[in-house]
């Protein structure tokens, strides 16, 4: 019997209890899943950073902490965490992100906002260029960034991707480093932010980097609110350096009602809905990692503590 502690809150327990048990059964795992295991007897922890559990030192037997969140910035620096930490890479979350990013990229590409705003009886035909004539840049080529890049390239967009470490992805122009970032920004008719939240990525889009964008570029941010220097973005929107921004994530959530983004005519706010973890598919990922741990295989999606993701 393998003891698994669910330390992700009562609300998540209601959503995950049945899917997890089904996933464990499908993987032929004999699991005792509870919210109250003795730390000395716990083999794995299913975790959300919002959990009351913040001290991992009593869990000396624990083989891994399996996060339900894709982002791990709220746990990776915990000094009591000595166990391997795995972030959530959920196929359902990935597919949701692909659909959201593709939808908003096509919205900008096809000029859908302009069409909706011009329902005034005037007949002004204006067709969008083909996707191959539109340059899209994605900052961040992790699991989500790569998935979105491949989808957009498949539609026909010219896709450039930038990451801290050099990547090689078929059909994508891959850049890295400071010089690569400048080049990536200069080729961004539409810029998509999918970087992780680390000290190095904070304010990646700031007054200086915004000026590398083509004038009138569009911005899509489903990544992290900390990637953008808000004052610099608002200024760029007012000058027309950035024509429009679609923002799904923010430094403070829910976004305060008096925040300038709400009233700005060149900003679309969505309430952190680009992608979410699905209980059924996430449970299958958790079960697979426990299966691997029990037979001595490497864990999936193991976090690099030094890099922070």
Q: Three-class SS of residue 94?
A: helix
Q: E strands, the chain, where?
A: 2-7, 31-34, 44-47, 64-67, 85-86, 135-139, 158-163, 173-176, 190-193, 217-221, 242-247, 267-269
Structure tokens at 6: 């669910």
Residue 309 pLDDT more than 90? Answer: no
Indicate the domain borders of the chain: 2-90+277-295, 91-269
Q: What does the CA dihedral 231, 69, 106, 242 come to, rounded to 10 degrees? A: 10
Question: Residues 37, 104, 134, 224: which is the catalytic one?
Answer: 224
pLDDT tens digits, residue range 59-110?
999 999 999 998 898 999 999 999 999 999 999 999 999 999 999 999 999 9
The whole-number average pLDDT for the span 109-113 is 97
CA distance 107 to 151: 15
Architecture of domain 91-269: 3-Layer(aba) Sandwich (3.40)
pLDDT per position as a tens digit, 239-276: 999 999 999 999 999 999 999 999 999 999 999 999 98
Given a cut of 90, whether residue 135 has pLDDT beyond it is yes
Active site residue 87: no
**Least confident among 26-30, 38-42, 125-129, 158-162:** 125-129
Global model pTM greater than 0.75: yes
How large a percentage of the chain has pLDDT more than 70?
100
Q: What is the fold of 2-90+277-295?
A: Rossmann fold (3.40.50)
**Model pLDDT, residue 305:** 86
The catalytic residue among 212, 272, 278, 291 is 272
How far is 116 from 110, CA to CA, in rounded Å?
Answer: 11
- Domains 2-90+277-295 and 91-269 equal at CATH topology level: yes
* Catalytic annotation present for 224: yes
């Amino acid at each position: 019997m393998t003891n698994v502690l669910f330390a992700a809150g009562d609300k998540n327990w209601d959503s995950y209890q049945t899917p997890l048990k089904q996933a464990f059964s499908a993987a032929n795992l004999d699991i005792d899943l509870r919210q109250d295991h003795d730390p000395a007897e716990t083999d794995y922890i299913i975790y959300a950073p919002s959990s009351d559990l913040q001290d991992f030192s009593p869990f000396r037997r624990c083989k891994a902490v399996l996060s339900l969140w894709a982002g791990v910035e709220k746990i990776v620096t915990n000094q009591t965490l000595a166990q391997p930490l795995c972030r959530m890479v959920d196929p359902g979350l990935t597919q949701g992100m692909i659909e959201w990013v593709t939808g908003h990229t096509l919205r900008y590409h096809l000029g859908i906002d302009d069409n909706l705003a011009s329902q005034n009886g005037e007949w002004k035909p204006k067709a969008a260029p083909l996707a191959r004539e539109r340059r899209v840049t994605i900052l961040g080529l992790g699991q989500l960034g790569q998935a979105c890049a491949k989808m957009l390239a498949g539609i026909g967009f010219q896709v450039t991707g930038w990451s801290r470490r050099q990547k090689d992805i078929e059909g994508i122009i891959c850049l890295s480093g400071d010089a690569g970032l400048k080049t990536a920004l200069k080729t961004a008719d539409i810029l998509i932010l999918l970087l992780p939240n680390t000290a190095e990525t904070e304010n990646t889009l700031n007054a200086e980097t915004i000026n590398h964008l083509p004038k009138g570029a569009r911005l899509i941010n489903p990544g992290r609110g900390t990637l953008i220097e808000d004052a610099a973005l608002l200024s760029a929107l007012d000058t027309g350096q950035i024509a429009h921004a679609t923002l799904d994530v923010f430094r403070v959530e829910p976004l305060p009602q008096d925040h300038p983004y709400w009233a700005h005519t060149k900003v679309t706010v969505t309430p952190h809905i680009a992608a979410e973890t699905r209980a059924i598919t996430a449970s299958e990922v958790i079960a697979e990692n426990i299966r691997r741990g029990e037979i001595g295989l490497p864990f999936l999606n193991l976090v690099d503590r030094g890099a922070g993701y």
